[in-house]
Structures are given as structure tokens and as C-alpha cells.
Structure 1
């Protein structure tokens, strides 16, 4: 009776699943992928794809950090800072408010 319940489940992979199986190196070409695969194989491929994607995101984050550092150094060399930009913006707003007040009184 127990043997009847132990049926090997098979899963028909979608196009995206096939791309994951290829990207993770489980199969060399799309023609090698059988029509039905065990769900465990797809789970392992998805986990491997998640890890690869995380490593790619970590690498891109590190590159972005260095780009921000380089940009900040260039801005510092031009004597630009958030404080000076905010002060200039607020001075402009005060000037516009003063001109608007003068226009109302005339």
C-alpha cells in the first residue's frame, strides 16, 4: 500500500525554467532538456540561479559604491556640497518671495 503512494512526480518545464536550467549549467543545450524533469532538479537549478543573481547584484553594488565615491570626490574638488546647494536654493526662494511680496504691494 505504501508503494502506491511513492509515485515519482514529474514536471514539465516552461520556457523560463528551461532558461534557468541552461544558465545554471544543468544542460548544455535546450534540446538536451527532457520533456519532464523531477521537481527537485528544478528546485536545485532555481536555488543556484538565485545565488548567481545575488552574486551579480553584490558585484553591481560594489561597482556603484565606487562610482558614488568617485563622483563625490569630483564634487568636493568643485567645492559642491549638499549644504552649499541647499543654502543657495533657500536664498533663491527668499529672493523670489521678496520679489513676489514687492509685486503685491505695488
Structure 2
């Protein structure tokens, strides 16, 4: 049996497909100069694999249920020392990184 190993790019595409189009607000874009695109991409990846970051336990459970019920999914992380949210809309068309104050 031949084992086919997927490339990192193929794995990222497969894992993040349910996120839809990824977007950032201007405030998060401004934070990139204090951090990096790679760190932000890592947070989108964590969101995609179900690591919801700093959310409360009840929100963690709600996110897990939303994956099966087509609900909105929200995660929270520190990015450049600032709390950000990453939200995937219920219709899975968009996933946006934003500051909580922008919600």
C-alpha cells in the first residue's frame, strides 16, 4: 500500500476549508506590525482545528455544538499582547479576526 503524504499547504487548505473567506479588521491589521502574519495565521489555524483559545468553558462547548449545528463559532486569543476574537459566521462564508470592542 502506497502512503501519500500531504504537504503542509495541502493540509492547511483541508483543515481551514470550513472557515470560508478569512478577513481581518483594520485594528487587527495594525497589530501585525507588532507581531507577524505567521502568528496571526497560526491563530486562524488553531481556530480551524477546534482550539478555541481563551473562551469560557460554556463557550467552548457551544462552539463544539455549533460545528454540528451550523452555528456561529468564536475563539479568543492574545495577539501582539492584545485580546482578539476570531469569529466564523454560521453560514461559513466568512471568518474574521477582530478586537472585542469592534463586535
TM normalised by structure 1 equals 0.19
Structure number with higher relative contact order (C-alpha < 8 Å, ≥ 6 residues apart): 2
Structure with the larger strand share: 2
Name the one with the larger helix percent: 1
